[in-house]
Amino acid sequence: MTIPFLLGGVGWNEGLISMLVNFSAICWALSAGLLASSLAKSWLRAQIMAWLLGGCFAFGFIFLTGFTLVSLAGPSLSLPYWSVPYQRITVPSDQILPAGFFAATDFGGWWAGIFNSATGTKPGLIFSEALVAILSILMLVSAIGFAAWRLRRVWQEEPKSARVGTLTIALPRLIPNS
């Protein structure tokens, strides 16, 4: 990102948006990994749970990004491949996920299109990504609090139950007593 920024191909506003999106994505990914490792006892279960939580959190991150963007940039928002921007005051549910996807990934240079257009979407995009970054920090702090609570509750391995503790298997002796 440094070389295009220094050569003038990327403006300060796109650099700021990129930093906010990447920071938010890192917070969501850390939350998923931390929750998975605090909930599972075995490595394989923790890894599977991290993948599942990571997918759910990625969807939540895209939904949150789209919801804040559609809410803040509202009537001036126009999405690629959708020719008519909406003119309603309410948040249309059919544009939340596409707006979140385009805002979170910059698919097809969408940020540059917004910053080069004459619409009022520019401050809405920056404010929505800043709001998502703040909410991502809150998500990470909540995940840390939950993991700490969970680990405080089960910080020691539970002892074997009476049935498992007394269960022994009689194996034949291969070496005779001498």
57 within some domain: yes
Residue 170: inside a domain: no
> CA neighbours within 13 Å on the CB side: how many for 172?
1
Range of the domain at 38: 10-156
Number of domains making up the chain: 1
Residue 162, in any domain of the structure: no
One digit per residue, the tens of pLDDT, for the chain of length 178 reads 677 667 777 777 778 888 899 999 999 999 999 999 998 888 888 899 999 999 999 999 999 988 888 777 765 565 554 444 444 434 466 778 887 888 888 877 777 777 766 555 667 778 888 999 999 999 999 999 999 998 888 776 666 666 655 555 555 666 666 5
Residue 41 domain flag: yes
The full 3-state SS of 38-79, as one line of letters, equals HHCCCHHHHHHHHHHHHHHHHHHHHHHHHHHHHHHHHHHCCC
Cβ-Cβ contacts under 8 Å for 77 (sequence gap 6 or more): 69, 70, 85, 86, 95, 99, 119, 121, 124
- Write the single-letter amino acid at 88: R
Measured distance CA(62)–CA(67) in Å, rounded: 8
51, 164 Cβ separation under 8 angstroms: no
| 161: in domain | no
Whether residue 94 is contained in a domain is answered as: yes
What local confidence, expressed as pLDDT, does residue 159 receive?
Answer: 66
Whether this prediction's pTM lies above 0.75 is answered by: no
In a domain, 23, yes or no: yes
Instruction: Determine, yes or no, domain membership for 175.
Output: no
